[in-house]
Amino acid sequence: MMTHKATTQNGGEMNLSPATEIFNDAAACKFLSVTSRTLRLWRSRNALPHIRITAKSLRYRRKDLEQWLDRRRVQIAA
């Protein structure tokens, strides 16, 4: 399993697995391959899972975004 390094507020490092990885808006946009405008639109419609830390600070769990994408997968009949 691949892990990622994250820096804590006190400057220490912690390992994050992809399942616990947390994204800010820019990282979520990159992960989903959408613009920030699209991300805001989905959030405003309560269509995108997110964590509200403060009124202006939002985060996204990678696991939640992956599950959200999986629920939207279209199966193609062979």
Enumerate the domain spans of the chain.
22-71
Residue type, 44: S
16-75 per-position pLDDT tens digit: 566 679 999 999 999 999 999 999 999 999 999 999 999 989 999 999 999 999 999 998
Does residue 16 contact residue 22 with C-beta atoms inside 8 Å?
yes
DSSP strand E in the chain: where?
4-7, 13-16, 22-23, 51-52, 58-61
pLDDT of residue 1: 41
pLDDT above 90 (res 5): no
pLDDT at position 78: 76
More confident residue, 7 or 61: 61
pTM of the entire predicted model: 0.71
Alpha carbons 59 and 25: distance in angstroms, whole number: 7
